[in-house]
A and B are shown apart, each in its own frame.
Chain A
Amino acid sequence: MARAEIIEICTGDDEKLLEISKKGLLSLTLDEMKRIQKYFLKIGRNPTDLELEMIAQTWSEHCFHKLFKSKIEFTEVNGQTAKPVTHIIPSMFSMIRQVTENLKKNWCVSVFKDNAGIINFDDTNCVCFKVETHNHPSALEPYGGAGTGIGGVIRDILGAGLGAKPILNTDVFCFGPLDFPHENLDPGIFHPKRLFKGVVSGVRDYGNRMGIPTANGAILFDPGYLYNILVYCGTVGIMPQWAVEKKVEPGHLIVVIGGKTGRDGIHGATFSSASLEKDIPTSVVQIGNPIIEKKVLDALMIARDRKLYSAITDCGAGGLSSAVGELAQHCGAEVHLENVPLKYQDLKPWEIWVSESQERMVLAVPSEKFDQLKKVLEDEDVEYACIGKFTSTKKIKIYHQNDIVGELDLRWLFQKTELPVQKAYYEERKMADIIPENINVEEVLLQLLADPVIASKEIVVRQYDHEVQSHTIVKPFSGIDGKGPSDAVVIAPVYGSYRGIVVACGINPWYGKVDPYLMAGCCIDEAMRNIVACGGDPEKTAVLDNFCWGKCDDPVELGKLVKCVQGCRDFALAYKVPFISGKDSLNNFYTKEDGSIVSIPGTLLISAISVIDDVRETTSSDLKESGNHIYILGETRRHLGGSRLLNLLNFEAGQCPVPEPELTLKIMKNLHRAIKQGLVKSCHDCSEGGMAVAISEMMIGSGYGTEIYLENVAERTDEPVVLLFSESQGRFIVEVDQAHIDKFEKIFKNLPCRRIGRVTPDFRLKIFYKGKNLLEIDGELMKKTWCGVLSW
């Protein structure tokens, strides 16, 4: 029968301590091993394997976010100061948090403490939003890794407050180029196409079976993601306002419900903080079963509304160890591992404790409610077991059969410790303006429409059930034959009510290659643009940050991250959008067999959610009627750095877009008013590919053509290539009919709002520049090009 092993550490020297950490895949540093040694010397015994595992899991980067909480000694060289300036940053996390604290939005209900950020929705409900990453598992086992990624974030929502009902899934993926030559792949690396199909299928099968619409996201392709792909999964939930707070009390029973526990996903928490390399065991990847999770969801909604439990959390990274540990943190717990339902026998106690087997939730149940809870779970065919109770000892005591296999002081385990000061270095790259000359704008526009980053993702999106639950009011695709791309998704989550949420995202690693600080601003601007273009309210918008970064013990990589976090802070304050939740996934790098290291391009995903009064006061991106006028809002400047145009021409340089929060926020507020008042026939934001691509996409959804007079686009007219393809932020293309142009123009008095052309009956794009016919392309060709890129 399986027993706990004693690990001899009290007598170990530094070398021995590190060896123990390495051999056990614990990812513990020497300092941490020494703290553990000190603790056990004090209590006069050696730890069990289970105790070491629990400590490693609790202190893992994944669960504790050490780097984001660390002091940073930041050295910066920028244009103004020729010589390096060094200052101490209290922590990156505090920078993000500061935004929300300063903005004091009264509709933020619970931020940065629960499993998800919670905001007010209506008089009786809140909505919550969480975005997670599952990068390493998806790289090793794309289908399973991505599926359990979405399964995991759904459980975050089930475990937010006393549990929310999931109403929307979002997903954002970053892959290497799908046409990458097989022969150039390194050993141990899956081809991007295989990863792409595996990841999409994993999210599709899990999300669809859960009955949650997957209706917003993005897919990016860049050689920087060949070795480490990125898989972001998000879920939005709705919950009654009374269900926001959880409460654990001594005497409450610890009840685990849902899936059985097996050996899958062991060391997920610790492994996610390590480098990927050839031959990592796939046992670190969990095995998912959406139908079990769906049954858990059905049962939980009934049990929650009957108030049969007082606290809940999900078993994610670190399994029971993390779930029970967190719930017991301020009181204590006694656990009997032999009661945990197993997939098969002979698991060692520590394996049961840290296994990341899926579809499990842990509940704190007042003993008098247990019988009623049992009834609900049995009626819904959900497995459960009472595995112990919460105590007031401030200790966690773990039994297996009759042995004590672990006993730890929770205050010590969770106590804040002086984290080592991290060093970061950043040197500003001075980028010369690059304006490509004598290029054929017709060819370039068609090439941009065929750029996988820009091209239609319909082949993927239609594999997701994006309207189950019948809440989806603006769907991922709109227009005459469902080909026009939507900027955001609009959901009316309460049957019979028109109140809704708008959800969108912003992501652009190419700006980050030039300037991670400005990238943060652009991602926030883009997420908000998408929200507002659809009818969302910029003043009732909250955002989430998800950082995926490379090898962060390299001061240069960390320096870029620090700049990106500073950008998040400064621009979120300027746009007045609070952060309600966030997550960092660091160490997305690959160690080649020759020892060389490949880091991903630092990538920030900003997800945004906005609450609106009436989902009927929205608009779509497809042009509505020939004869209508076309406007551009916002300033077009020489912002080609990091643009799709320069990527196409293989320049990694140029001035990347500089957001103008003050101006843009004014434009957004007024655009929101105009859409609310029904003055806007269609609206689309300018993002990748600039104005030319934005107008093309509006045509594709409509079958109408356009006539654009380029010299009217900007105040000081510039080279056509800039006006067409610059990716300046804060810009919208708006269609207004003759009857409303006066009202519309009045709203934008003293703001950059220029009439640039008209909608025409024939399906052709015609662009004139100073009286000359600059560009003319057949709409069918544009449509065929844009729709025909991604294949399955």
Chain B
Amino acid sequence: MVKVLILRTGGTNCDLETEWACKLAGAKPSRIHISRITEGKVKLLDFDVLIIPGGFSYGDDLGAGKVLANELILKAKDEITLFREKKRPIIGICNGFQVLVKAGLLPFKDQYVASLVWNDSGRFEDRWVYLRVEQSISPFFKNLPEIIRFPVAHAEGKFVVKNDRVLKKIENNSQIVLRYVNAAGEIADYPYNPNGSIAGIAGICDEKGLIVGMMPHPERALLKIHEPDWHRNETDDVFSFGYQFFKNVIEYCS
């Protein structure tokens, strides 16, 4: 059975629903406090997948995800590096995405050329968005229609890059996994792009496609009845797009 480590710390708050998502997808998840890893009591390498879920790790006090990012690269660097080299998936959702970017794991190893900053609106916002599944090198977005919906819920989700070259490189490498679009699938302004991310970027992966970060929350879109307008769409389907995403990750490992 695929073993998933759901990393948590003070302020993590999407770990329980992420655990449930993994169970639905047929994996064996464990919610592990970062201290168990830095103490050496739990070995990261005993797991097949690492997920850093959403929340406000350490209150996001030094900028979203910054403190946990530092903890990872300063106290667990070797384990993370090995985990990467062994081609095991690392997924960062919302705060987890912020952690991966600020830890220099996305978009390129140890290059700090992108960041997630305050929404253009200057506010935390919770809303469902249309996402275009891009043709990317990540194996975790198959069996999904071109346009899907997940909710976003963040204040610091605006994806920015150091310069155009970085954007070009991410695009040319097919490292963009999800873009914010309108219902017709076109890049559009607020509220379709909820935070002002450049080129509507909602999620990216690393050069191998196995480290994935996204602001939207697949673990909040597991069931049809999670969708905000499910009363309008009568269907016998039980599951929604988020379930398929987790299934893709787990199936890749098994």
A interface residues with partner B (beta carbon < 8 Å)? 204, 208-211, 289-291, 294-295, 298, 379-381, 462-470, 472-473, 475, 477-480, 482, 492, 495-496, 615-616, 618-620, 622, 624, 682, 792
Contact = CB atoms under 8 A, between A and B. Distances in A.
B156 interface: no
Given A294-B13, A615-B225, A624-B232, A466 B126 contact: yes
Contacts of A620: 229, 231-232
B56 A478 contact: no
A159 B231 CA distance: 37
Contact of A209 (B33, B59, B219): B59
A-B complex: 8 closest residue pairs judged by Cβ atoms: A211-B13, A470-B17, A291-B59, A620-B231, A495-B20, A209-B56, A295-B10, A465-B153
Interface in B196-242: 219-220, 222, 225-226, 228-229, 231-232
Contacts of B108: none
B112 interface: no
B69 interface: no
B47 interface: no
Contacts of A624: 231-232
B153 A209 contact: no
Contacts of A496: 20
A230 B220 CA distance: 33
Give the dominant DSSP class at A's interface.
loop
B111 interface: no
A468 B232 contact: no
Given A470-B222, A473-B226, A381 B10 contact: yes
Interface residues of B, number: 33
B123 A792 contact: yes
B127 A467 contact: no
Interface of B: 10-14, 16-17, 20, 33, 35-36, 54-56, 58-59, 123-128, 151, 153, 219-220, 222, 225-226, 228-229, 231-232
Given A463-B123, A470-B222, 20 more contacts: A208-B153, A209-B11, A211-B55, A290-B59, A294-B11, A379-B33, A379-B36, A381-B35, A465-B126, A465-B153, A466-B126, A467-B220, A469-B17, A470-B17, A470-B220, A478-B228, A480-B232, A482-B229, A620-B229, A622-B232
Contacts of A298: 10
A208 B20 contact: no
B124 A208 contact: yes
A482 B226 contact: no
Contacts of A211: 12-14, 55
Contacts of A295: 10-11
Nearest to B14: A468
Nearest to B154: A465
Contact of B13 (A204, A463, A468, A472): A468
B35 A294 contact: no
A482 B231 contact: no
A424 to B, nearest CB: 45
A480 B125 contact: no
A467 B123 contact: no
A473 B240 CA distance: 13
A473 B225 contact: yes
Contact of B124 (A204, A210, A473): A204
Interface centre among A295, A463, A622 (most CB of B within 10 A): A463
Contact of A467 (B12, B59, B151): B151
Contacts of B123: 462-463, 792
Contacts of B127: 462, 482
Contacts of A479: 229, 232
Contacts of B14: 211, 468
Give the dominant DSSP class at B's interface.
mixed
Contacts of A682: 231
21 contacts: A208-B56, A209-B59, A290-B59, A291-B11, A291-B58, A291-B59, A294-B11, A463-B126, A465-B126, A468-B14, A468-B220, A473-B226, A478-B231, A480-B229, A480-B232, A482-B127, A482-B128, A615-B225, A622-B232, A682-B231, A792-B123
A722 B230 CA distance: 35
Contacts of B17: 468-470, 495
A290 B36 CA distance: 23
Contacts of A463: 123-126
Nearest to B11: A291
A144 to B, nearest CB: 15
Contacts of A380: 10, 33
B63 to A, nearest CB: 15
B153 A468 contact: yes
Contacts of A379: 33, 35-36
Contacts of B128: 482
A95 B168 CA distance: 71
A465 B127 CA distance: 9
Given A467-B151, A470-B219, A210 B13 contact: yes
A472 B153 CA distance: 14
Given A295-B10, A379-B33, A381-B35, A478 B153 contact: no
A493 to B, nearest CB: 11
A479 B229 CA distance: 5
Interface centre among A208, A379, A615, A624 (most CB of B within 10 A): A208
A619 B58 contact: no
A457 to B, nearest CB: 14
Interface centre among B125, B222, B226, B229 (most CB of A within 10 A): B229
A163 B127 CA distance: 31
A747 to B, nearest CB: 20
A495 B23 CA distance: 11
Nearest to A292: B10
A467 B126 contact: yes
B180 to A, nearest CB: 15
Interface centre among B16, B54, B128 (most CB of A within 10 A): B16
A295 B54 CA distance: 15
Contacts of B11: 209, 291, 294-295
A480 B227 CA distance: 11
A387 to B, nearest CB: 23
A223 B125 CA distance: 30
Nearest to A792: B123
Contacts of B58: 291
Contacts of A209: 11, 13, 56, 59
Contacts of B219: 470
Contact of A470 (B20, B124, B231, B232): B20
Contacts of A480: 229, 232
Nearest to A210: B13
B56 A482 contact: no
A289 B56 CA distance: 12
Nearest to B16: A469
A109 to B, nearest CB: 24
A126 to B, nearest CB: 19
A682 B127 CA distance: 22
Contacts of A294: 10-11, 13
Contacts of A467: 126, 151, 153, 220, 226
A784 B33 CA distance: 47
A477 B55 CA distance: 23
A160 B220 CA distance: 28
B121 to A, nearest CB: 8
B126 A462 contact: yes
Interface centre among A467, A496, A616 (most CB of B within 10 A): A467
A465 to B, nearest CB: 5
Contacts of B36: 379
B226 A464 contact: no
A615 B225 CA distance: 9
Interface centre among B14, B219, B225 (most CB of A within 10 A): B225
A229 B11 CA distance: 30
Nearest to B225: A473
Nearest to B219: A470
Contacts of A495: 16-17, 20
B235 to A, nearest CB: 12
A118 to B, nearest CB: 22
A468 B12 CA distance: 11
